[in-house]
Structure 1
Amino acid sequence: MATRSWIVPGPSQHDVEHVASLRVQLVAGAVTVVGHDAEHVHVEVTEVAGNPLELDVEGDRLTIGYPFLGWDGWVKRLRSYRSADTARLTVHVPRGTAVAVATAVADATVSDLTEDTSLITASAHLRVTGCQGATSLKSASGAVDVLGHDGPVRVSTAAGRTTLSGELPRVEVTSVAGAVSVSTTAPTSMVDLATVSGAMRVNLPAGAGVSLTARGVTGPVRLDGVDHRAGGLSATTVEERSEAGICFLTTRTVAGSLDVTRMPAAVTDAPA
């Protein structure tokens, strides 16, 4: 398998041909990955401080990061890694490129892609906009935004808020204390939310049916403004069928609230 590599000590630009997948590994700074119509990858590095980056091509996969860390070990050590290494870059890729990004405190934005994406961070802001395919995001404390998405979404976070919108046929969110907001325009969807204390809000298309099972201890369970919370430790169930489609919604929480509203879902910018 052919391999090529470049050491990047400072600002520079690079074009790479025949790339089907991209991996980016950063400590601090920021990375933006954008889909474009060209068949090659264009890398624009605007800042490098500390250790130099390396661009490594193995087969049809391009990896940008720090080779001394190792990809697998880096993902496992994200929460405890401390370094002053900083890089800022923008990567333009063919829209069908699969993308994986892992950072410690570097913000990551991915937009306008049609393949699967995976983003992991310790405490940075993760943002996916206008993409298709399955997307998976993991964060300890950073905010997570998936906006204007077409495809399934899976999120795992501890304290950061989560905002999801688009044509979302399948949503899975696990959060400890962060607020969760889901707006889906999919006529039929499956939404599974689990949180300890974060507030949960789900917006559905007008007239959509709801098959709801909510398990909680103290939080209210509101559907179109009406609290359906069951007494004691019993699960709250609501079954309303509709020819306009249905959302199968399951939630689990200790003290978090749930608000479900059937209204035209709009894609909005997440808070900064």
Structure 2
Amino acid sequence: MATRSWIVPGPARHDVEGVDALRVQLVAGSVSVHGHDSDHVHVEVAEVTGNPLEISVEGTRLSIGYPTLGWDGWARRLGSYSSSDVASLTVHVPHGTTVHVATATADATVSDVAEDLTLMTASAALRVLRCRGAATLRSASGTVEVSDHVGPVRVSTAAARTEVTGELPRTEVTSVAGSISVTTTAHSAMADLATVSGAMRVQLPAGTGLSMTARTVTGQVRVDGVDRRPGGLTPTTVEDRGDGAVCFLTTRSVAGSLDVVRGALGTSA
């Protein structure tokens, strides 16, 4: 398979055609990926400090990163990797491009992409805006924000704050100590949330039925402002399906509280 590559030691611009997958690997700095209506990829590198970047094309996949680091196993080394390499870049891709970004401390933003995406970081902020498809995000300590998303979302964090909004048919969030906030406009949905000590909040459209099992050791469990926890270690179960669509919600925590609100977005019941 033919491969094309460019070494980028400083600010530069590149246009690449025939790409339907993007892979970015950074240490420090920032990366923004935006969907656009053109059929080519436009890469704009604003800053490179330390080792130069490499831009390479293999088949229909465009890769941007550091060739000396390698791709295999890079994500597993994010938390322990230390380097002075800094790069800041913006990439415009066709809307139907799959996106995979891995960083150590570089903030990452992806917007207006209509295919599956994966973002991973050790301690940077991750943002996904107005995207469609399956979104997978992993962070140790950086905040995670998914806004106006259409499609399933999976998030795994250690201490990061997580906020997810949109039309979410399925949401899975696992966190050790970070707070979790999920707001969905989908009347029929499934959500699975787990935390040790972070507070959890789930907001649903008014009139949505609820089938919930919440397990906690010391955390509070409230539904529409009413304390529903039976006491002790007995799981809190709510079966209020009504005649319409239902949200199937499962939560687990040690000390984290849970609030479920059904009502107009931005209000509490």
TM-score range with shorter-chain normalisation? over 0.9
Q: Which moved more, 1:72-81 or 1:42-51?
A: 72-81
Q: Which runs of 4+ in 1 moved over 6 A?
A: none
Paired amino acid for 1:64: I
Per-residue CA distance 1:182-215 (angstroms, 9 max, x = gap): 0000010000000000000000000111001000
Per-residue CA distance 1:21-56 (angstroms, 9 max, x = gap): 000000000000000000000000000000000001
Paired amino acid for 2:172: E
Q: What's 2:226 paired with?
A: 226
Paired amino acid for 1:43: V
Q: Give the total of aligned pairs.
A: 266
Unaligned runs of 5+ in 1: 267-272
SS at match of 1:77: helix
Paired amino acid for 1:20: D
Paired amino acid for 2:117: T
Q: What's 2:203 paired with?
A: 203
Q: What's 2:104 paired with?
A: 104
SS at match of 1:79: helix
Residues 156, 175 of structure 1: 8 Å contact kept: yes
Q: What's 1:18 paired with?
A: 18
Paired amino acid for 1:216: T
Unaligned runs of 5+ in 2: none
The answer on 1:54 being equivalent to 2:48 is: no
Distance 2:5 2:102 in 1: 20
The answer on 1:34 being equivalent to 2:34 is: yes
Residues 32, 110 of structure 1: 8 Å contact kept: yes
Kindly report the root-mean-square deviation, in angstroms, between the aligned alpha carbons of the 2 structures: 0.7
Paired amino acid for 1:77: R
> Identity over aligned residues, as a percent?
70
Residues 185, 264 of structure 1: 8 Å contact kept: no
Distance 2:98 2:265 in 1: 28
Instruction: Report how far residue 2 of structure 1 moved.
Output: 1.1
SS at match of 2:75: helix
SS at match of 1:249: strand
Q: TM-score, normalised by structure 2?
A: 0.98
Paired amino acid for 1:84: S
Paired amino acid for 1:10: G
- The residue correspondences of 1:116-135 to structure 2 (distance < 5 A) are 116-135=116-135
Instruction: Report how far residue 100 of structure 1 moved.
Output: 0.2
SS at match of 1:71: coil
Instruction: Report how far residue 243 of structure 1 moved.
Output: 3.0
Instruction: Report how far residue 242 of structure 1 moved.
Output: 2.5
